Structure 1
Amino acid sequence: MWVVHTSVAQVYHFQHYDIFSGLGQSQVTDIEQDRLGYIWLSTRGGGLSRFDGLHFTTYRKEDNLPANNILSLEIDTKGTMYMGTPFGLSIYDGQRTRPVRTSDREPYTVSSVIGDTKGNVYAICNASQLGLLLGDSLRFLKKNSSDRPSFFSDMSVTPDGKLMVSTYSGEIFEVTPKGLFRRYNFSPALVLRSILFDNQGLLWLGTDEGVFTTNAKTSSALTAISHDIVHEMTEASDGSIWMGLSMGALRYQQGNILRFNADNGFSNFMVRGLLEDREGNLWFTTDGDGVYKFTNPAFTSLNTQTGLHGNTISSLALSPTGRLWVSYFDGGLDIVDTQTNRPLPVPLSLQRKRVNCLSVDNEGNVWVGLAGPGVYKVQTDKVTYFPLDDYISSQGVTLFMQAGKGKEVWISTSNGVLLYDGKSFQHFHSKEGLKGSFVRRTLLLQSGELLTAGPRGLNVVRNGKVSDFQYDNELASFPALSMAQRYDGLLALGSFEDGVVVFDPKTKQKRFFTVKQGLCSNLIYNTSFDPKGRLWIGTERGIDLLTLDAQFRIASIRHFNETDGFTARETNANTAYVSPNGDFWIGTIKGIFHYRENPKLRLPTTPKVHFTEVKSPFDTTNLVQFAKSKDTWYNVPNELSLPHTRNQLKISFISINHSHPDLVRYQYQLEGEDEAWLGPTEQTSVVYSHLNPGKYRFNVRASLGDNRWGETAVYAFEIVPPFYQRSWFIALVISLLIASVGLVQQLYIQYRTRRVLAYEKLKQEAEAAIRVQLAQDFHDELGNRLAAIRMQSSVLKLRYESRETGNEEKRIVGEIEKNVVRLFRDTKDFIWAIDPESNLVKELVLYIKDFGENLLQDTTIRFHSNTTIPFELENVTLPPGWSIQVIMIFKEALTNCIKHAQCQNIYFCATLQGQNVSFSLEDDGCGIVFPTDGYHKGLNNMRQRAEKIHCSLAIAPRSPSGTALTLTGTIPTKTASPKIR
C-alpha cells in the first residue's frame, strides 16, 4: 500500500520590513537607490524612509519635506530628489525643499516622476499632462497625432535611452523636450497599466486583460504571457522579468513562470514598486505590507508549510533519480520528487518508523537505518528488511550508513561497524581493535580504506582488519563528529568543540580552524566538499563555506544566515549532502534547505565606505562654522579646521550592503595617531580625544567578513595649534632670538671695541707722553751737550787756526767739528721723530719739506714741493715708526741728489686719498742707469726701510731726464681715521 501526500512547494526567502522594522509607513508607493547605495522609500503618510541595510531613517514634514504623503520618487546622479505629491512636484536636496510651479500657477498632483538618460526630469501631472522640469518650473508637453484621451499610466526607458509613456487608451508616446510623438498604437480596449522595454527587443504590456509581449520594432502580434493584472514591471540583470501583481509578484524566466505569494514566503498584497539594487537583490513595495527584499539565489527550503510532515530533520538522501528521502527525529518519512516538487508515496512497511539514517548505495538503492536493531533496503520494486539483533542489542541503534565498493554497505552502530557485502554481514567491534563500540561515522577513503570515528578517536579498516590511525599520532585520538574527503585526498574532520581540522595524508600537513579563524562555531555537525573543492561546514550557529589555498589556509570564508535565506541557523548531524552538480542540501531544526548556485548572480563587490557624520562627541556645537562647506545630505563638514581647544572628534561612517549587511567589517587608521590599521570591527564610529595640533588623515575601509578590503575612504582635517605653536609665531620668536643674540653680540663687540679703543687710546696717550718726555729729555740733555761740544769744537778750531800748529791737529779738530754738527743735526731728526706730533701726515710732509729747503739753501739746486692733502684728512695719524723710516728714506734720496744727480731742480710731492698715501721725489739730473753695477748700500737701506712699514718703493728714470722715487702705502684702518680732538 502506498500513501500520497499533498503538493510540496519550495519556500523562497524574502526579507520583510515594515513599521516594526523602522519603516515610516506600510503603504509604500515608490522605491529608489542613490549613488551611495541607500534604499529610499516613499510612503502614503509616513514621509520618506532611508534604509542602509540595517536601520531606517525617516524624514517628514518637520524635516522640510513638502508632505508626508509622497506618491512618486526620482533621484538623480548628484543625489537630488524629485518627489511627486498630491500638492505638486518638489525638489529636495537634503536640507530644504524647493516647490516646482507651473506656468498657470494652478494646484496640481504628481503621480509619477522619472528621469531620462540625458538628465531631464519628467512628471505625470493630474493624470493627463506630462511636464518637463526646467529650473524650478514645469513646462507641459504637447501630444502629437492622437485624438484619444491622454490619461497617462506608466513610463519606461528603452535600451537605447528613449523615454516612453503609455496611456490607458492603448497608446505609447516617445517623450522629447519638444513634445510627445506616438510610436505604438494598440486597441483602445487594451487598457495599458504598465509597460517595459527589455534588452531582448521585446515590449511588455501589462493590461487589464493580462500580460502580453510583442516585438518592440514591429509590434505586429501580441503573445499572451499571463492573465494577471500587472501594475509594475522590471527586468533583472539575469534577464528575468519581474511583475508586481494585485496579489503578490510574478517572475518570468526562459518561458517559466513562478508566482510569489503568502504560500512560498512572499505577500498577498498589491505590489506597486520594483527595484533591482546594485547587488542584484530585488525589492518589492506593497500597498499595506511594507517592503520585501528577495536575495536570490542562495537557499530555498522545504518544511511543514510546504507539505513536509516535520521540521526536525534526522537524515536525508538523494537518489540518482532525483528522489529526496527525508526522515524526522519525531518519526516518519517523506519522499519528494525534486524535479516536480511533488510528494511520492512512502512504502507501507516504512510508515510510522523512527528513522535514524538514510543512504544510497552504488546501485541506486536506498538504505533506511532504524532507531533500533534493523535496516531496510528499498529497491525499485521491493523493500527488504535486515534485522541486526545478532550484532547489536535491542536497545542499540544504527547511526550512519555509507556505500562501499560495489554492492558493499557500511553501517555504523552503537556496537561497532557492520559490512554488508550483498549476501551477509561482517561485524567489527572493540575486540577487533576499535576504540570503543560506539561508532558515529565512517568514511570510505580513496585508498579503499575505511575510516571510522568514535568518541575515543579514529580507526582504519584495511583488508578486513582494524588498525589504529597511523597517519598522524595527534589525530589518532581526534573525536570526529563528521568527516569528508576531497578529490585530491585532503581530509576534513569536524568535532564537538574543537572546530575543524584539515589533514593531507600524503604530506602529513594539517591545520585547525575554529571561531578564532572565523567559523560560526566550534561544534561541527557536518563537513562536505563540493566539486570546486570548497568545504561546507554545518554548525549549530549557521553554515560556513571555506575556500582553501595551496597551503590549506583559509583564502575566503562566507557565512550563510537569514540574509541568504538560511533561516534555521542550527543544522543537524549527518544531514549534509553535496550532489554531483554542486547543489548543497542540509537538514536543520526548521526543515531542509537547498542551495543552488546561480552562475548569473552578481558577485559581491568590495564595499565602499562613506562618511555620515563628523562632530564633537560631547557637545552639540555645529562644526560647520570651522569648515569651508558641508555635505548636503550628511553632517560632514568639508576641510575642517578646528581650534586647539576643540581637539576631540567623533567620525561616523558606513558601507552600504544589502545582501550581507551583517557581514560588513571595518578597519580604520588615523595617520599620525594610529601606528597600524585597527580592527576588524562592526562599529561604525570612532572617537578621538585630546588630539595634538596638526594635520590628520582618517582612513577607513570595509570588507564582507573576509580579507578582501575595499578602497580606502579618507577624511582630512586639521587641529589648529595655538598662536604660540604656529609657524609664524615660532619663526618670529626665532627671529627675535637671533636678533637678540645678534644685538647682544653687537653690544658685546661694541663694548669690547670700546675697551680696546680705550686701552689703545690710553696706550697711545701713554706712549705719546713717554715720547714727549723722551724728546724733551733728549733735547734738554743730549741736545744741550751736543750744542756745548759743538761750541767747544768751534772755539778749539779757532785757537788752532791762530796758532802755529801742525796740519794734522787742525784736520782732527775740523773733523770733530764736522761730526758734531752732523750728530747734532741727526739727533735733532731723531728727537723730532720721537715726538707724537711726527705721526701726523701733515707734520711729516712739512718736516720733509723744511728739511729739503734747509738742506739745499746753500746750493744752486732749487727745491719744489706740492702736497695734496684734504682738509678733513690733515690730522690723519700714521702708525708708529712710519715717520722715522719715511724721513730716513727721503734724507738718503736728497743726499743722493746733491752728490750724484747733477741736477738743477728737485720736486717733492705728497698725496693722501682715503687710506692710500704716496710720497715722491724727482730730479732733473743725469739720472740713474738700471741695472746698476756694484754695491749700492743707500738704495738697499731705503728698500729695507720701506719693507719695515709695509710700503713699496719704486725708483725709475724720469722723463726726459733725471730720477723718480715713489713711496706708496696703505694706512691701517685703526690708525687711518682722523684724530678726534
Structure 2
Amino acid sequence: MRIILKCFIALTLWIAGATVRAALTNNMFNIRHIGYAEGLSSQRVFSIVEDSHGAMWIATKTGIDRYNGHIIKSYTLPGNFYYGDLAGRKLGLLYHEKYGLWAYDHTGRVYHYSIENDCFEQYLYLGEFITGEIILNKLYLDHEGTFWFGLNKGLYKNDADNRVILVVQQKYVNDIVAVEKTLFIGTSTGVLQLSYSNLDKPRQLLGGHDVQTLFCDTTKKELWIGTFNSGLLVMNLNTNTLLPLKEQSPSFLNPVRAITNYDSHTLLIGIDGGGVYVVDRELKRAHLLMNTEDSTDTFLRGNGIYAVTRDQQGNIWIGSYTGGVSIAILLKYPITTLTHERGNPQSLANNNVNDIEENANGEWWFATDLGISIWNRSSRQWNHCLKGAVAVTLCKAEKGSVWVGTYGDGVYLLDAQGRVIQHLSKQQGGLTTNHIFSIKQDRDGDLWIGGLDGSLLMMKKGGKGKQLYDIKWIQSIEVVDRDHVAVATVNGFCLVNKRTGKIRRYATAQEYHKQNTSAYIVAMLFNDDNTVWLGTEGGGLNLYDMQTRQLKTFTTSEGLPSNDVYSLQRDPKGRLWVSTGKGLALIDRSHVANLNYVGDIDKEYNKSSFARLANGKFAYGSTNGVVFITPNAITGTDYQAPLRFTGLTVDYLSEDEESSLRPVIHNMLAQGRVQLDYGHNSFVITFESINYRFQRDIAYQYILDGYDKYWSDLSVNGMAQYTNV
C-alpha cells in the first residue's frame, strides 16, 4: 500500500507591482502574533532560528517550540536541575547547516536536537569542566565544528578531545561573531579581536562600553556594535575608528539585544524597551520600524526585544520579553479594514455592516445594526443617522439621497445629510412587509422592494403607482436588463418580466429533488451565455444554465472557504469574487482561490453586503466591520512550499518497542519507502508544507492506495491516522 498526498495551492495571489529598492517601513508588512493562545510555551522569548526546512524554532523561558505555520510543538530540555537553575532562566538557540540544531541555557547546559528521536539530548554540561558560578551568554559553532562559549568569566572553547579550555579569562562575554579565522568578542568592557592562529594575544578594539551584541559587515569591513546603554556603534575595521550614526532616538540608550542582517542595504536592530529599528547601512541612518504603539495595524505586543530573525522569505520574526513572537509578513496586501472604535463617535457606528452604498456625491453609506453611518471623504467626518434602526439594505437615489430598508421599520428615503425625506411602512399601506431585505432601482427608475414575508413590490418612479408580484421570502433582487428583474428566494429564483408581468421560476427544491444541492438562493450574478451564478446558503456556489437547467457546483471541496455564499461580483479582468460566511474567494477559469491567507480577510460576511466603489475598490460588509480590497492589484503567481513527511508513529507499542522502532522508521522515511510488519497496522503519519506568507492557502488531501476508496476531505491538518489497516 502507498500513502499518496496532495498539497493544494489552488490559485495563489500576489500584489502586482515592480520591485525597487526602498527603505523598510511598517506598511510593507502584515503582522501576526503568536502567544499562549496559539500554543507558545511562554510569552518570554529569547531566541529564534530557522532550520533548512523553513520551520522556526523559538527559545522561551520554559523550553523550545517548533512552529511550521500551523502547529506549535513544544520540547523540554532534560537535566537534573536545582530550583536555583530555573531562576532567571534564559535559553538560546543555534542552527548550523552542517551540524544541525543546538540549544543552551544560562547554566551551561548544551543540547543537540536529534532528528531520529525528535527530542533534545544533552551534549555537555560546562559545570563538569569549570568550577564556580557559570552564566553562559552565547554559544558559537564554527565551520570546523568547534564550540566557543561566552561566559561570565571569560571565553572558552572545546578542543579535539572534547575538553573545555579557557581562551580569554576575566572577561564577561556577551557575544561572539567570526569572520574567516578571526573572532570578535563583545564583552562588558568593550570589543576584543582574536585570531585563530594567536589565541593567547587578544587585541582590544574598543573599550569603555558594555557590549551586548555584534554584527560584522564583511563587504564593507565594518563592525556594528550594540551596547547596553550607549547606543549603536559602527567601527571601520580598516582604521579601527567609529563612524557617525545618524538619527539615533533616545530608545537607543536602552540595551541593544539584536543586530540582524536583513539585506545588503539594511540592518534590523532589536532594542530592549524600544522596539525594532531599521538602519540603512549606506547612509548610517536609523528609523523606527515597529513597536507597541498601535496607531496602525503593524504593532508589537512587547517592546522588550531579545530576538530579531529574518527568514528565507524576508519575513521578520520578533521575540520579546513579555509579548511572545510577532511575525512581520513581507506582503502588504491591497486591503484596508474599517471597524467601530469603542467610545469614538468619529468611527463606524457598529461593526455588523449589513450593506454598503456610495451615493451620487461620492459619500460612503454603511447600514449597520445601529442605524446608518455616512463617511464624508472630503471633510473626513462621520455622520450617524437613523439611530436605533437595524438598517439592512441600501439603494442609491437622486441628488445624494439613499433608500434604506430596515428590519422591522419599513423603508426610509434619506437626503444626503441623513435627514428623513419619506418613510414607508406596512401600517401606512405602502409596503407588504416591514422586514426589508433588498431594494433595487431598475433602468426605468422604478423601485423594487422585497422582504421576509410580504410579496414583491414594484413602485413606479415618482410614486405614480405600484405593482405586486406573488413572490415571497426574498433574499436579494438583481436588475438583469431593461425588461427583467431577478429575485432570489429561499426556494430558487424568479425572473420577472415587468412589461408582461410574467414570472418564471428556476432552481427550485422541486427541480433539485434528485440532487444534493441547495435551493436557498442568496446572491445572483448573470452571464451573457444564459447562465447565472447562484450563491446559496449551505450548498456553495452553483453555475446554473437557464436553458438546460443543468448546474455545476463549487463547494469547500473545490476550495471555497464556506458553503454559505453571500455576494458575487465580477472584476474588470472577468474574474468572479465570492464573499462567504467564512472569508473571500476568487474564481478564475474555474480555479478557486481561497483568499483567507490574506490578513483580516477571514471574516463572516453579511448577505448582499457589497459595494463597487468609484475608485475601483470593492467594499464588503461583515459581522466585524468593512473590508476594502483593490481587485486589480491581485494577480496569479507561483510559490514554493515543498511537501515533506515529518514522522510516522505506530500505535499500541511499549516504550521499548517505540524506542527501538523510531530510528528504523526515520531511516525508511529518509529513503522514501516505509515497510511495516503486519502487526503494526495502526499508525499516524505527519506531514507539512511551509510557506508563512501563504500558509492559509495550503491544504492537504491523502489516500492510502489499495486501502482507501476515496481521497480524504481537504484539511489544513497535516496528519493522517489509520487503525487496523
Same fold flag (TM > 0.5)? yes
Paired residue type of 2:411: G
Paired residue type of 1:429: L
Q: Which residue in 1 is equivalent to 2:566?
A: 525
1:125-144 superposed matches below 5 A: 125-126=187-188, 128-129=190-191, 142=203, 144=205
1:593-608 superposed matches below 5 A: 593-595=627-629, 599=633, 605-608=639-642
Pairwise CA distance, 1:335: 2.4
Pairwise CA distance, 1:627: 9.7
2:459 is equivalent to residue 392 of structure 1: no
Q: Which residue in 2 is equivalent to 1:62?
A: 78
CA distance in 1, matches of 2:413, 2:542: 34
Given that 1:153 and 1:165 are in contact with CA atoms closer than 8 Å, whether structure 2 keeps it comes out as no
Q: Which residue in 2 is equivalent to 1:77?
A: 97
Q: 1:436 aligns with which of 448, 461, 471?
A: 471
Given that 1:79 and 1:93 are in contact with CA atoms closer than 8 Å, whether structure 2 keeps it comes out as no
2:114 is equivalent to residue 52 of structure 1: no
Q: In the superposition, relative to structure 1, how do residues 19 and 690 fare at CA in structure 2: closer, same or farther (>3 Å)? A: closer
Pairwise CA distance, 1:612: 2.7
CA distance in 2, matches of 1:79, 1:273: 22
Q: Which residue in 2 is equivalent to 1:556?
A: 592
Given that 2:235 and 2:243 are in contact with CA atoms closer than 8 Å, whether structure 1 keeps it comes out as no
Q: In the superposition, relative to structure 1, how do residues 279 and 201 fare at CA in structure 2: closer, same or farther (>3 Å)? A: closer
TM-score (norm. length: structure 1): 0.52
Given that 2:485 and 2:498 are in contact with CA atoms closer than 8 Å, whether structure 1 keeps it comes out as no
Q: In the superposition, relative to structure 1, how do residues 90 and 438 fare at CA in structure 2: closer, same or farther (>3 Å)? A: closer
Given that 2:259 and 2:308 are in contact with CA atoms closer than 8 Å, whether structure 1 keeps it comes out as no
1:902-913 superposed matches below 5 A: none
Given that 2:268 and 2:308 are in contact with CA atoms closer than 8 Å, whether structure 1 keeps it comes out as no
Q: Which residue in 1 is equivalent to 2:395?
A: 359
The number of residues matched between the two structures is 624
Q: In the superposition, relative to structure 1, how do residues 649 and 572 fare at CA in structure 2: closer, same or farther (>3 Å)? A: closer
TM-score (norm. length: structure 2): 0.68
Given that 1:368 and 1:377 are in contact with CA atoms closer than 8 Å, whether structure 2 keeps it comes out as yes
CA distance in 1, matches of 2:465, 2:218: 69
1:137-176 superposed matches below 5 A: 142=203, 144=205, 149-155=208-214, 164-168=223-227, 169=230, 172-173=233-234
Pairwise CA distance, 1:443: 0.7
Pairwise CA distance, 1:383: 5.6
Q: In the superposition, relative to structure 1, how do residues 156 and 686 fare at CA in structure 2: closer, same or farther (>3 Å)? A: same
Larger RCO: Structure 1 or Structure 2 (Cα < 8 Å, ≥ 6 residues apart)?
Answer: 2
Q: Which digits, 9 at most, give the CA deviation of each residue in 1:18-71, with x for residues without a partner?
A: 34543222111232222212221122x313222233333333431799987346
Q: Which residue in 2 is equivalent to 1:576?
A: 610
Given that 1:47 and 1:70 are in contact with CA atoms closer than 8 Å, whether structure 2 keeps it comes out as no
CA distance in 2, matches of 1:678, 1:122: 56
Q: 1:610 aligns with which of 640, 644, 651?
A: 644
Structure number with the higher helix fraction is 1
Q: Which residue in 2 is equivalent to 1:328?
A: 368
Q: Which residue in 2 is equivalent to 1:374?
A: 411
CA distance in 2, matches of 1:336, 1:402: 22
Given that 1:626 and 1:640 are in contact with CA atoms closer than 8 Å, whether structure 2 keeps it comes out as no
| Larger Rg belongs to | 1
2:383 is equivalent to residue 345 of structure 1: yes
Q: 2:690 aligns with which of 644, 649, 656?
A: 656
Given that 2:173 and 2:187 are in contact with CA atoms closer than 8 Å, whether structure 1 keeps it comes out as yes
Pairwise CA distance, 1:288: 1.4
CA distance in 2, matches of 1:187, 1:154: 19
2:532 is equivalent to residue 491 of structure 1: yes
Paired residue type of 2:585: L
CA distance in 2, matches of 1:677, 1:439: 39
Q: Which residue in 2 is equivalent to 1:292?
A: 326
Pairwise CA distance, 1:302: 0.9
Given that 2:403 and 2:411 are in contact with CA atoms closer than 8 Å, whether structure 1 keeps it comes out as no
SS at match of 2:690: coil
Q: Which residue in 2 is equivalent to 1:828?
A: none
2:543 is equivalent to residue 502 of structure 1: yes
Q: Which residue in 2 is equivalent to 1:415?
A: 455
Q: Which residue in 2 is equivalent to 1:818?
A: none
Paired residue type of 2:68: D
Q: Which residue in 2 is equivalent to 1:757?
A: none
CA distance in 2, matches of 1:394, 1:402: 16
1:650-689 superposed matches below 5 A: 650=683, 651-658=685-692, 664-668=698-702, 678-680=711-713, 682=715, 684-685=718-719
Q: Which residue in 2 is equivalent to 1:789?
A: none
Pairwise CA distance, 1:614: 4.0
Q: Which digits, 9 at most, give the CA deviation of each residue in 1:304-361, with x for residues without a partner?
A: 54743323333332447664322333x3222235799x551235xx344442322335
Pairwise CA distance, 1:378: 2.4
Q: In the superposition, relative to structure 1, how do residues 202 and 312 fare at CA in structure 2: closer, same or farther (>3 Å)? A: closer
CA distance in 1, matches of 2:52, 2:406: 58
Q: 1:39 aligns with which of 47, 53, 56?
A: 56
SS at match of 1:289: coil
Unaligned runs of at least 5 residues, structure 1? 1-9, 231-241, 251-257, 692-981
CA distance in 2, matches of 1:674, 1:132: 63
Given that 2:458 and 2:466 are in contact with CA atoms closer than 8 Å, whether structure 1 keeps it comes out as yes
Q: In the superposition, relative to structure 1, how do residues 328 and 199 fare at CA in structure 2: closer, same or farther (>3 Å)? A: same
Q: Which residue in 2 is equivalent to 1:97?
A: 123
Pairwise CA distance, 1:374: 3.2
CA distance in 2, matches of 1:530, 1:572: 20
1:314-325 superposed matches below 5 A: 314-319=354-359, 323-325=363-365
Paired residue type of 1:679: S
Pairwise CA distance, 1:598: 9.7
Paired residue type of 1:128: G
Paired residue type of 1:501: N
CA distance in 2, matches of 1:471, 1:428: 22
Q: Which residue in 1 is equivalent to 2:466?
A: 427
Q: In the superposition, relative to structure 1, how do residues 487 and 647 fare at CA in structure 2: closer, same or farther (>3 Å)? A: same
Paired residue type of 1:152: V
Q: Which digits, 9 at most, give the CA deviation of each residue in 1:74-121, with x for residues without a partner?
A: 4233473465754569574544435634243658766556788x8999
Given that 1:628 and 1:638 are in contact with CA atoms closer than 8 Å, whether structure 2 keeps it comes out as no
Paired residue type of 1:61: L
Q: Which residue in 1 is equivalent to 2:117?
A: none
Q: In the superposition, relative to structure 1, how do residues 184 and 87 fare at CA in structure 2: closer, same or farther (>3 Å)? A: farther
2:346 is equivalent to residue 309 of structure 1: no
Q: Which digits, 9 at most, give the CA deviation of each residue in 1:548-569, with x for residues without a partner?
A: 42xxxx41231638x843464x
Bigger mean CA deviation after superposition, 91-100 or 440-449? 91-100
Pairwise CA distance, 1:545: 0.7
CA distance in 2, matches of 1:480, 1:641: 49
Q: 2:40 aligns with which of 3, 10, 23?
A: 23
Paired residue type of 1:332: G
Given that 1:172 and 1:182 are in contact with CA atoms closer than 8 Å, whether structure 2 keeps it comes out as no
SS at match of 1:396: coil
Q: 2:502 aligns with which of 446, 463, 467?
A: 467
CA distance in 2, matches of 1:488, 1:474: 24
Identity of aligned residues (%): 17
Q: CA RMSD in A?
A: 5.3
CA distance in 1, matches of 2:181, 2:527: 54
Bigger mean CA deviation after superposition, 472-481 or 352-361? 472-481
CA distance in 2, matches of 1:134, 1:649: 54
Given that 1:304 and 1:591 are in contact with CA atoms closer than 8 Å, whether structure 2 keeps it comes out as no
CA distance in 1, matches of 2:422, 2:56: 59
SS at match of 1:100: strand
Given that 2:176 and 2:186 are in contact with CA atoms closer than 8 Å, whether structure 1 keeps it comes out as yes
Given that 1:396 and 1:415 are in contact with CA atoms closer than 8 Å, whether structure 2 keeps it comes out as no
Q: In the superposition, relative to structure 1, how do residues 152 and 572 fare at CA in structure 2: closer, same or farther (>3 Å)? A: same
Pairwise CA distance, 1:303: 3.2
CA distance in 1, matches of 2:362, 2:218: 40
Q: In the superposition, relative to structure 1, how do residues 71 and 538 fare at CA in structure 2: closer, same or farther (>3 Å)? A: same
SS at match of 2:502: strand
Q: In the superposition, relative to structure 1, how do residues 85 and 577 fare at CA in structure 2: closer, same or farther (>3 Å)? A: same
Q: Which residue in 2 is equivalent to 1:737?
A: none
SS at match of 1:560: helix
SS at match of 2:712: strand
